[in-house]
Amino acid sequence: MLTEFKIPEVGENITSGTAVKILVTVGQTVKKDQSLMELETDKATIEVPSSVSGVVKEILIQAGAKVNVGQVVMKIDDGKGAFAGDATTTPAPDTQIKPDAAPAAAPEQQSAPKEPTAAPDSQQTAKGSPGGIIEFKIPEVGENITSGTAVKILVTVGQTVKKDQSLLELETDKATIEVPSSVSGVVKEILIKEGTKVNVGQVVMKIDSGATASTIPAAQPASPTAQSTAAVPTSTAPVQKSAPTPQPNAPVMQTAIIVTKEVAAAPSVRRLAREIGVNLGEVAGTGPGGRVSKDDVKAHAKVLITSGAGRSASTVAAPPLPDFTKYGEIERKPMNNIRKKTAEHLTHAWSAIPHVTQFDKADITKIEKLRKQHSTPERKLSITPFLMKIVAEALNKFPQFNASVDMATGETIYKKFYNIGVAVDTPNGLLVPVLRDIDKKTVLELSQELNASAQRAREKKITIDDMRGGTFTISNLGGVGGTNFTPIVNWPEVAILGVARARMEPVYDNTGNFVPGFMLPLSLSYDHRLIDGADGARFLRFIVEAIEQPAFDGIG
């Protein structure tokens, strides 16, 4: 049975990614759960396993291609007979992606008040009748989204396209997405240009579904620009608009405003939120079903201004860069998805959270003896699991550090669980796996779990769920070096502990003499909206004293 293998759902609100590496070849026999490709999303690079065993009959993408959740990327023959249209539990081809991220129906199913419907023969062609010119219309791409900007045309007239191949990049109020073709055929006419404002239901191309490359000798491949753009993550589109005067329809602030949940709001409300720098994901809607109104946005903005937590730094459009080529040779390289998402997240965290950082040092002489005592050649302990246990005790004693701030409602959310994220340096960027229920695990259990999580992160096998649900973060740069640093709070958390490299230093003891001490530099950054300086000092001193006088019930 020939099975279509589709990109599965890999995490909440993740609708696309980049196929950075294809791990199999046509004709290769694969087993169920064997990795077929490496997929780079906004949050991590993961390996996508096969859902069936069989022989790879066809690979429909190349390394570097942008792919959507639900998109068919391979065909696998499992040897069981009849054709099966789906190798995953993802939606059918016409409903590949969640409504906010990609087309939810074939073009003939769309209706736009101001656009004429397709001719009967084009409707039949879209349903599978042989041959005919069909009018490709902008499909519905999300609730209350009625228009967008065609920022890139990914095909040319005369080009042969396949069903589900991306035709253009569409920039809406919510995101920049690739719009796939609903049929296979040859592009006969392109009715718009890049930068054109288009409406849902508008005819933008005409495709001959009865033609093939052999019937049209003049068929040309996609232009190099279109091909290279297709492999670049879509969120780079706004950055490419470097003209000094932004286009009227271009959401200049899009990369600075990070919507963290699906929000019901009219386009005019979204426009207002962008203009005044409000994240709709943080606004409490008062309309039916939580729908956000203009008054809700204005009220939320007033709260931010009153609290001093406005995001003026993140909402001011950056001036255009100078022409560096005047001074010498340069090279431009696109950021990978993880780096771009990290940049967006940290920009939001830095601008939304009023940071304070406090420093201290802890003598780790005693805890070092414990670490060495319980380390073996097969199991080398680091200091991080010890720190995690101590931090969990501190979070229990100082609950405001195990919380989140909800400015929309004026509430503090206290968490009754202790999940600690540990920043891991990987070749693809910084990832933060989260270890859960720290207070219920021993040091040896945490060490084993931490090593396994770090290994998965470096091998691109970490999942989105592995990085969710943290209440506090530890960033340990001791293995790299340095004396101190000021870590940025990992929003929506309210505090983070930075750890630098320990070194031997002279310490003044109680007898009036200098003695050698193995001193560990610590940096505590926290959200000053919730935590006062005195509380920050008490929290950090609790950690220092617990390190210097370790009292663990049991290591293992």
Give 3-state DSSP helix, strand, coil % of the chain, rounded to 5. Answer: 25, 25, 50
pLDDT at 113: 38
The answer to whether 67 and 16 are in contact (CB under 8 A) is yes
pLDDT at 46: 84
Q: Is 428 left (phi over 0), alpha (psi -120 to 50) or beta?
A: alpha
Residue 25 is encoded by which pair of tokens?
């070849």
**Which DSSP helix (H) or strand (E) runs through 14?**
none
Helix 384-397 vs helix 443-458: crossing angle, to nearest 10? 110
CA dist 397 to 422, 434, 527, 542, Å? 21, 21, 18, 9
pLDDT at 556: 61
- The dihedral built from the CA positions of residue 457, 460, 466 and 467, taken in this order, carries a sign that is positive
The gap between the terminal CA atoms of the chain, to the nearest Å, is 51
Token look-up 């003695």 returns 515
**348 in active site:** no
Cα–Cα distance measured from residue 186 to residue 206, given in angstroms and rounded to the nearest whole number: 9
pLDDT at 361: 94
Cα–Cα distance measured from residue 207 to residue 159, given in angstroms and rounded to the nearest whole number: 10
Residue 73 is encoded by which pair of tokens?
């990327």
Q: What are 77-93's pLDDT values in tens digits? A: 887 765 545 444 333 33
Residues in the chain, pLDDT under 50: 84, 86-130, 213-261, 309-315
Q: What is 29-75 written as a DSSP string? A: EE-TT-EEEEEE-SS-EEEEEPSS-EEEEEE---TTEEEETT-EEEE
pTM above 0.85, yes or no: no
Other beta carbons within 10 Å of 542: 16
pLDDT at 536: 95
- The dihedral built from the CA positions of residue 54, 58, 62 and 65, taken in this order, carries a sign that is negative
Other beta carbons within 10 Å of 321: 7
Exposed e or buried b for every residue in 206-225, given b needs 16+ CB within 10 A? bbbbebeeeebeebeebeee
The answer to whether 365 and 518 are in contact (CB under 8 A) is yes
pLDDT at 96: 37
**Which DSSP helix (H) or strand (E) runs through 356?**
strand 355-363
Of the candidates 465, 421, 418, 424, the residue with the CA atom closest to the CA atom of residue 437: 418
Q: Which of 345, 355, 374, 528 is catalytic?
A: 528
Domains of the chain: 1-93 (2.40.50.100), 99-240 (2.40.50.100), 251-321+335-352 (4.10.320.10), 354-548 (3.30.559.10)
